[in-house]
Structure formats: C-alpha cells, structure tokens
C-alpha cells in the first residue's frame, strides 16, 4: 500500500498503522496528522483501539506495520525505528502522560513525584525541585508540596499528575481517560487545567475519553470504530480558541480542595 506523504507542519504524523494482538486486529490502516497547539479528543466504543492508538503514537508499543514521525525540538524522529532505550528517552524528554488513576508513587510527596520525572530525564535534583514547586503552585497545590498521595483527593492527585506531565516542557501530552475516575465538577476543573497548561501554551494535547463534555472542550474530535478512524472533525469554535473558550467556561481558576 502506498503511503501518503507526511503533513507539513505536523508535530506527529502517523501513516497506515496496523497493530494486532494474536488474531485480533486493534488498529487497521490508521493515518492522521496532529498539529502544534491542538487539543484532540480520541473517542470510540470500548475495544475500538483508542488507547492502542495513544500508545502507538507515543512509542509505548511497537507496531506491526506503519510509520509514526515526531517533529520534535531536535528534528524529525521516526518513532518505529527507535530502540526500546531510545523510545524510553523520547518519552521521558519529549512527551508528557496523564492517566486515569494518575499512576503516581504513593510513597512520595507531591513535589517528589513531579521532581522524579525531571530527574529521570537528567535534570539535577535542585533544578527539578524548583521547577516542580513552580508548577504545583500554578496548579493551586502550593500548600500540599509535602503531602503523599493518600492524603490528597482524586482531583488534587490528578493535578500532581498534570504537573508531572509538564515538568520537562513536553511539546506533546498524552492523556488516557484523565477525568474518568473523577466526579463531574472535579472532571471539569481538571480538563480546564489541562487545556490551560497545554494547548493554550502552544503545546499539543491528545485525550482518550468516553466523556462528550471532554470531547466538546477539545478543538478536534477523532472517532474510532473497529480499529479505524470513521470521523475526524473540528469543533464549531475551531482550533485553539475553542479550547480557550471551554477552559474559560469551565472556570480554570481551580480550588485546591477539589
């Protein structure tokens, strides 16, 4: 199958992605382009390939076929050609991640969880601590730097996860159901923070979600079914301003007790 050219200006270009587990095809000839400053919701029924697509674009899994090109700060990188160690380095330095359950280290404090991500990428401890404290302050957690995850609410823990995802200045953040375990009010606040911290700063956000409210807050919605893209549409507000409008409507001024 002839591969379409990669799109000019895209930060991530994926072409003809295929992935199967056993005899079960999960991604079937998926192609898409992601641009700087976009907030892209990836939707679809359970088993449609949403999380697999997120993992393929971020280099977490190896593809059976296809190409993923990342246009990063140091130039173009063909993700599928990297070794496991190189893909780990790419994720640590260029990608941020926010998961449904946070996946934070319960024995560490909020500041230590965020700093750890920077230190893994090679940032000295004191510099990592300084950047982490600044991010946590911006997210309304300045009074909770020394609290462990068991001493925080779900919304507070997700703010720590957001700070961790941004500590290395990642140009792309991948979020897998980041509001799925939260009540509706806290979910709106967390989504507003994601939009404020990422696309409004010219960076790119990809969100796997079942929540139509989360999708409506994004500038673009990609819908998967049976491992294929069946719809790829921009929201009516169009582009990054759509995210700004929704972030404002969510009330991005968050409360530390959420």
Give the start-to-end residue ranges of the domains of the chain. Answer: 12-250
The pLDDT assigned to 209 comes to 94
CATH class given for the domain over 12-250? alpha beta
To the nearest 10 degrees (0 to 180), the angle between helices 239-250 and 184-197 is 140
Against a cut of 0.85, is the pTM above it?
A: yes
State which residues of the chain have pLDDT below 70.
Answer: 1-6, 102, 237-258
- β pairing state of 228-234 and 220-225: antiparallel
- pLDDT tens digits, 154-167: 899 999 999 999 99
SS3 for 240? helix
The pLDDT assigned to 103 comes to 79
- pLDDT tens digits, 24-59: 999 999 999 999 999 999 999 999 999 999 999 999
In contact, 57 and 68? CB cutoff 8 Å? yes
Say if residue 106 is exposed, middle or buried (CB neighbours under 10 Å; 0-12, 13-18, 19+). Answer: exposed
The pLDDT assigned to 258 comes to 44
* Bridge partner residues of 220 (DSSP): 40, 234
The pLDDT assigned to 187 comes to 87
């Amino acid at each position: 199958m002839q591969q379409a050219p990669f799109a000019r200006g895209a930060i991530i270009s994926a072409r003809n992605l295929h992935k199967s587990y056993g005899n079960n095809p999960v991604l079937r000839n998926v192609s898409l382009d992601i641009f700087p400053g976009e907030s892209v919701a990836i939707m679809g029924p359970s088993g449609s390939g949403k999380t697999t697509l997120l993992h393929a674009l971020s280099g977490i899994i190896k593809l059976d076929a296809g190409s993923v090109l990342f246009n990063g700060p140091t130039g173009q990188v063909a993700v599928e050609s990297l070794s496991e160690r190189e893909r780990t380095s790419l994720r640590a330095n260029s990608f941020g991640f926010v998961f449904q359950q946070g996946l934070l280290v319960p024995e560490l404090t909020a500041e230590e969880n965020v700093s750890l991500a920077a230190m893994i990428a090679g940032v000295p401890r004191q510099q990592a601590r300084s950047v982490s404290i600044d991010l946590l302050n911006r997210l309304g957690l300045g009074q909770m730097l020394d609290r462990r995850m068991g001493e925080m609410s779900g919304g507070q823990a997700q703010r720590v996860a957001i700070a961790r995802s941004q500590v290395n200045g990642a140009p792309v953040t991948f979020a897998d159901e980041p509001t799925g375990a939260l009540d509706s009010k806290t979910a709106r606040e967390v989504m507003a923070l994601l939009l404020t911290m990422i696309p409004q700063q010219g960076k790119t956000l990809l969100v796997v979600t079942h929540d139509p409210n989360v999708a409506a807050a994004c500038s673009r919605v990609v819908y998967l079914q049976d491992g294929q893209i069946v719809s790829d549409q921009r929201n009516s507000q169009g582009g990054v301003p759509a995210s700004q409008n929704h972030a404002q409507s969510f009330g991005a001024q968050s409360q530390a007790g959420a």
